[in-house]
Amino acid sequence: DTAVSQTPKYLVTQMGNDKSIKCEQNLGHDTMYWYKQDSKKFLKIMFSYNNKELIINETVPNRFSPKSPDKAHLNLHINSLELGDSAVYFCASRSRLAPLHFGNGTRLTVT
């Protein structure tokens, strides 16, 4: 049973396209996140979201938008994809008393 699951695992697309990555957690956590890991393995937080509040990293372009249909899901929509968006995107979740759990990532390649 995967605690935090992301789809797709791989995503190859052309510049200018719009794409989405889905994330679901079955841990009952109240906060979910999106992280971006670049080619040098650096992990950078993009968004954190719970039922009450969306926190956006100010450096994230507004082409990126999180959408949460319910507490267990946080999807990532990306508009007008650029070459520099190529990276591995990780969804994660936690609750107040639980550590951060990551999904296995979505490798996005923009050509």
Minimum CB–partner distance for residue 35 and other proteins (Å): 8
Minimum CB–partner distance for residue 33 and other proteins (Å): 8
Residues binding other proteins (CB under 8 A): 4, 31, 40-45, 48, 50, 52-53, 55, 90, 92, 99-105
Give whichever of 15 and 43 is closer to other proteins, judged by the CB atom.
Answer: 43
Contact 101, 4 (CB under 8 A): yes
Sign of the alpha-carbon dihedral angle for 96, 99, 104, 109: positive
Residue 101 DSSP SS3: strand
Structure tokens at 66: 């999180």
Give whichever of 5 and 79 is closer to other proteins, judged by the CB atom.
Answer: 5
Minimum CB–partner distance for residue 70 and other proteins (Å): 19
Whose tokens are 């605690």? That residue is: 3
